[in-house]
Structure 1
C-alpha cells in the first residue's frame, strides 16, 4: 500500500534537486532562489543549511563534498563549511543553470533556463573531470528532467515549456550524446515535466508540476502509474532512504514568478513509501585530482 507523508518540517520557497547520500545517510536538496543548500538526516531532522551568494539550480555528489550548478556556472562545495569554489563560468544573456545530475562516468550535467522574457535559449552543459564545460544540446527555455538510465547509456532531459520528455543516446566513456528522440509529451498528462529520476528497473518518475502529481513512464514512454500529491507544484523526485525505497519529492511555495501557493504545507518535501520499487545510487562528479573509487 502506498503511503504519502512529509519529510521533516522545512518549507522551501522553491524546493529542487533532492539527492540521497548513502555514505552520510542524508537527504540533500536546494531552495533554489533562496540560494540555500540543505541536508537532513534520514528521519527528517535538519543537519545544515549552506547559503550561497546566488541561486542554486541543482547539486550532485562529488568525490569530496558536492558539485553545484549555481546561476553563473559550476562550483565545488566544501563538505565542511559549504564554501563554493568556481570550477568554470557559464555565460548567457538572461540565463542561469537549472536542473542537473551526475552521470555514471564521473561527470556532471546541467541545463540552462531563461530568467527573463526575450533572453536567448539555453543549452545543456557537461562538466568534465578536468573542469572544462562542453555544450551538448541547445534550444532550452527551461531545462529540466535530467537523469540517466541504469546502464548510463540513455540521457533523459526536457524543456518544461515545450512539454516533451526527450531521450538521447549517451556515451558513458566520452560523455557525448546522440540524436534526440521524443519520448513523452507530458502536456497530455496535464503539465510540462519538471524534475525526474530513474528507478532500478529503468522506469522514469517525472514531476508533473502543474498537475499536482508524479507520473511513472516506461523507457518506451508508456504511462505505468500516476500518483496524485496532497500539495501543489511538485518539482523534483529522487529515491532515497537506507534501502532507496522512498520517493522524495520537493515542491514549490513561491517560484518568484508563476507558481505561488498559500497552502499551509506548500514547499514541503513529500515522502512516498510502499511503491514496491527501489532507486539507484547517485553518480558522483570526480575531478581529475581525485582517484576514482
Structure 2
C-alpha cells in the first residue's frame, strides 16, 4: 500500500485513503446499507463508482455526460442527475432509463448536487457552467412531477434535509452561503430560502454537506480545505483540516453510520478547482468524529416509461 494510503492520525481523527485511482471530480458519496457499499461519482468522467469495505478492487459504471449527483433508488438502482436529465441507472447491468429531461434548459446550466428528502423525493440544485446564476433547486417526485423551489443559484450544492425532514438546506458555493427553508414533509412545499450560515468570514464556501442524527450540518469547506460542523441554528461548532486541499462532499456510512466519507477534486475541468495535493481526487474515510449519520431514503419511481 502506498505510504499516503495508510491510516493517518489528524487532529485526533483517523483518516484513511480508500481509492487507488483518483477521480477528476469526486462528488456525491451515498452509503447503501443494503449493499454495504459507498456509491460516489467522477462527475467529469461520467462515471459511477462503488467502494465496498470487504472488496479492495474498485467497481465503476460509466454512463457518460457530466454527472452532478446520485441517490439510492429501489431494487438496487440509482437515481442520477446528468446534465439536464434525471436518470434511473441499474449498476449491475449498466442500463440507463431517462425519467425526466428539463425541456428548454439553458445549455449553460447543468444539474449538480442532490439528495432525497425523508419521503424519497429527489432534490437537486443546478448551476451555471461558468458560475453564472442560472441554477435552480429542483424537486422530482416519485410520480415524475418536477417543480422548482428556488432560483438564481451560481453553483448550487450541499442539498440535505434535517432529521425530521422539516428543514431543507442547500448552499451556493461562490456566494459562500448556506440557506435553509421550512419544508413540509407531506407535500414537499418549501418556504422562501433564508441565509443560515455566511461562511465568507471563515474564508470559504461550502460544497457538499450532510446532517448527523443530532441535526448538525457537516460541510466540505472547499476554499479553506476544512471540514466544518454547524449547529442547526448556524453556529460553527468545530472545524478541522480536510485530508486534501479540495474536499468536495461527504456522507456518513459504515455498519454503524459513524464513518465520515469524504470525496475530493483533482481537476474539475473548468480551471476553477485544480488540486495541488498528491491525493487530490481520492476518496477518504474519517473515523473518530463521535457523530453518526442517518440512512438515506430511497427514491421510489412510479413513472411509466
TM-score, normalised by the number of residues in structure 1: 0.95
Q: Do the aligned residues in 1 keep the contact of 2:133 with 2:153 (CA within 8 Å)?
A: no
Paired position in structure 2 for 1:98: 112
1:133 to partner: Cα distance:
1.4
In structure 2, stretches of 5+ residues that fail to align are 1-11
Runs of 4+ in 1 over 6 A off after TM superposition: none
1:46 to partner: Cα distance:
3.4
**Aligned 1:229-240 pairs, distance under 5 A:** 229-240=242-253
Paired position in structure 2 for 1:187: 200
Match of 2:95 among 66, 79, 83: 83
Structure 1 range deviating more: 3-12 or 131-140: 3-12
In 2: Cα distance, 1:230 partner to 1:149 partner: 26
TM-superposition CA deviations, 1:87-117 (whole Å, max 9, x none): 1112224000000001111210101111136
In 2: Cα distance, 1:2 partner to 1:125 partner: 36
Paired position in structure 2 for 1:69: 81
Paired position in structure 1 for 2:283: 269
Q: Do the aligned residues in 1 keep the contact of 2:150 with 2:193 (CA within 8 Å)?
A: no
1:18 to partner: Cα distance:
0.3
In structure 1, stretches of 5+ residues that fail to align are none
1:43 to partner: Cα distance:
4.6
**Aligned 1:1-293 pairs, distance under 5 A:** 1-43=12-54, 45-64=56-75, 65-90=77-102, 91-116=105-130, 121-257=134-270, 258-288=272-302
Kindly tell me the number of residue pairs found equivalent between the two proteins. Answer: 289
Q: Do the aligned residues in 1 keep the contact of 2:19 with 2:58 (CA within 8 Å)?
A: no
1:122 to partner: Cα distance:
1.2
Q: Secondary structure at the match of 1:264?
A: coil
Q: Secondary structure at the match of 1:188?
A: helix
Q: Do the aligned residues in 2 keep the contact of 1:92 with 1:120 (CA within 8 Å)?
A: no
Q: Do the aligned residues in 1 keep the contact of 2:99 with 2:303 (CA within 8 Å)?
A: no
TM-superposition CA deviations, 1:50-75 (whole Å, max 9, x none): 11120110000001211011111111
In 2: Cα distance, 1:133 partner to 1:48 partner: 32
In 2: Cα distance, 1:58 partner to 1:188 partner: 28
1:208 to partner: Cα distance:
0.5
In 2: Cα distance, 1:207 partner to 1:46 partner: 26
Q: Secondary structure at the match of 1:45?
A: strand
TM-superposition CA deviations, 1:95-145 (whole Å, max 9, x none): 00000001111210101111136x562111011111121111101010001
